[in-house]
Structure 1
Amino acid sequence: MSGADRALTALAGVAGVLGVALSARAAHAEGGGSLDVAARFLLIHAAALLGLAALIGGGALHPRLGRIAAWVLVAGLALFCGDLSMRVFRGVALFPFAAPAGGIGLMAGWAMTALAALVRPRR
């Protein structure tokens, strides 16, 4: 496993921890709906990042495109979930349009994942 794949696996673990923590907080906090959405996105994408790292390592995805897709997903998660969380905990947005930018990043990451499955790596 490459260092980049290890980093993605570690970030998947961080996303999982944050997803569980936000789920617990959402059950007890005002504004829990936004936290619940952020938690679900983190948990779903934690599994997706693990899957991407495994598929890249196993040669099922174009390695460069797969890694770029995973990093785009990480950035999208940070913006989308970070903005929702900041709005609940601090009462302010991360920055204007952070959540929509994160959502677009997540869609781009998924589209790039599909591309990584279709493009054959050079040999």
Structure 2
Amino acid sequence: MTVPDRLLLVAAGLAGCLGVALSAAAAHVTGGGNLLTAAQFLLFHAPALLALSALGAGGLLHPRLARLSGVVLLLGLVLFCGDLSRRTLSGLPLVPMAAPTGGVLLMIGWLLAGASGLLHRRS
């Protein structure tokens, strides 16, 4: 397993951990709907990052495309979930247009994930 694959595994664990933490925070913060949404996105994408890393490293997906998909998904999560969380906790956006940009990156990441299966050639 390559270093980029291992980093995706670490990112998956971090996404899962943050998803659980934000779920708990959402239960204790008034108006925590955005935190709950961010938590759900993190928890839904953590297994996807694990799968992309493992399947890419195992040769079942196009390895570089699977890694690229994971990186794009990760960037999308940072922007989307980071913006929702920061807006809820501090009232300030992460950066202008962070949530919509993150959402588009998440969609692109999923398309790349599908393409990594279609474009894979078995040796």
Taking structure 1 as the reference length, the TM-score comes to 0.96
> Structure 1: which 5+ runs fail to align?
none
Contact 1:34 1:88 in 2 (8 A): yes
Between the aligned partners of 1:53 and 1:20, the Cα distance in structure 2 is 21
Between the aligned partners of 2:69 and 2:32, the Cα distance in structure 1 is 30
Deviant stretches of 4+, over 3 Å: none
Amino acid at match of 1:14: L
Aligned to 1:59: 59
Contact 1:63 1:121 in 2 (8 A): no
Q: CA RMSD in A?
A: 1.1
Aligned to 2:32: 32
Matches within 5 A, 1:1-123: 1-121=1-121
> Structure 2: which 5+ runs fail to align?
none
SS in 2 for 1:27: helix
TM-superposed CA distance for 1:120, in Å, is 2.5
Q: Which moved more, 1:113-122 or 1:11-20?
A: 113-122
Contact 2:60 2:120 in 1 (8 A): no
